[in-house]
């Protein structure tokens, strides 16, 4: 199960969403918050995201800790990876998506995160944490596309969708090309992807923009199909 959040991680507006995500876990929630995407922003910002995540999930009654996975060295730390592997809910907060992807790709920490998914756990990512799940990652301010983890083949994720001008949305849609689908996720909103369904949770909406006009979907199931890469690397349709 993936939860892709447009913006608003750890804030009060996201409490109903995160309560519902925790309710869907088979076991009591064991949450790990990773401030990795902010790893270049200095100790103050790393500490801010870590503390905010711990306070948020503590309020929700979860067992939670934040881990200092902030660079390639810490992403290769075996002890941190083992701690993550013992969780059933991993949350990647916002920052720089390209840095997040480069830091985690091929690391023991990323293998641990994938093991959580393989056991039926949840991976949530907000903003940068959501963007890396697509086939390509949008680059800003110079618009370009870089490789993502490809959990959603053919998909490009645009968070903060409600904060972006129509002109910029059109430019990004043109950049993604006819073979990819642009998925825009608004603030305080999650696109939840599982083996059986696509669903919008939260106060905003999700816009799916394929070759034709964009279609916006509020909270509830999505009447569209997207391919999802499973652990074996084979795509299936949900």
Burial level of 106, CB count in 10 A (0-12/13-18/19+)?
A: exposed
**pLDDT value at position 227?**
60
Q: What is the pLDDT of residues 14-66, one digit of tens each?
A: 999 999 999 999 999 999 999 999 999 999 999 999 999 999 999 999 999 99
What pTM was estimated for this model as a whole? 0.93
Chain centre to alpha carbon of residue 167: 25
Indicate the pLDDT class of residue 225, thresholds 50, 70 and 90.
low
**pLDDT value at position 234?**
37
Whether cis (ω within 30° of 0) applies to the bond prior to 141 is yes
> Sign of dihedral through CA atoms 59, 65, 71, 76?
negative
**pLDDT value at position 238?**
31
3-state secondary structure 153-181: EEEEEECCHHHCCHHHHHHHHHHHCCCCE
Task: Evaluate if residue 235 carries a pLDDT over 70.
Answer: no
Q: Two tokens at 28?
A: 């009591």
Helices and strands, number each (H, E), in the chain: 8, 16
> Sign of dihedral through CA atoms 128, 172, 229, 199?
positive
Strand-pairing partners, residue 147, are: 136
Q: What percent of the chain has pLDDT over 70?
A: 93
Q: Which of 156, 88, 100, 104 is nearest to 129 (CA)?
A: 100
Task: Evaluate if residue 142 carries a pLDDT over 80.
Answer: no
Q: Two tokens at 229?
A: 């890469």
Q: Two tokens at 18?
A: 């995160």
**pLDDT value at position 233?**
41
Helix (H) or strand (E) holding 144: strand 144-147
Burial level of 162, CB count in 10 A (0-12/13-18/19+)?
A: middle
Q: What is the pLDDT of residues 52-101, one digit of tens each?
A: 999 999 999 999 999 999 999 999 999 999 999 999 999 999 999 999 99
Q: Give the chain's domains with CATH numbers.
A: 2-237 (3.40.50.880)
């Amino acid at each position: 199960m993936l939860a892709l959040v447009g913006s608003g991680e750890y804030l009060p507006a996201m409490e109903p969403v995160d309560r519902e995500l925790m309710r869907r876990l088979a076991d009591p929630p064991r949450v790990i918050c990773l401030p990795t995407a902010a790893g270049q922003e200095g100790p103050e910002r790393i500490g801010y995201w870590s503390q905010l995540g711990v306070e948020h999930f503590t309020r929700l009654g979860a067992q939670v800790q934040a881990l200092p996975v902030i660079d390639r060295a810490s992403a290769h730390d075996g002890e941190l990876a083992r701690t993550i592997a013992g969780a059933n809910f991993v949350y990647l907060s916002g920052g720089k998506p390209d840095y997040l992807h480069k830091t985690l790709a091929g690391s023991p920490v990323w293998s641990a995160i994938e093991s959580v998914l393989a056991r039926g756990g949840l991976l949530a990512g907000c903003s940068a944490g959501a963007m890396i799940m697509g086939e390509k990652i949008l680059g800003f301010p110079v618009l370009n596309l870089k490789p993502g983890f490809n959990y959603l083949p053919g998909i490009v994720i645009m968070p903060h969708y409600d904060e972006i001008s129509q002109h910029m949305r059109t430019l990004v849609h043109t950049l993604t090309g006819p073979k990819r689908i642009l998925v825009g996720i608004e603030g305080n909103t999650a696109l939840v992807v599982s083996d059986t369904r696509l669903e919008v949770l939260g106060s905003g909406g999700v816009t799916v923009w394929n070759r034709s006009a964009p279609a916006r979907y509020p909270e509830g199931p999505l009447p569209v199909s997207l391919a999802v890469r499973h652990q074996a690397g084979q795509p299936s349709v949900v």
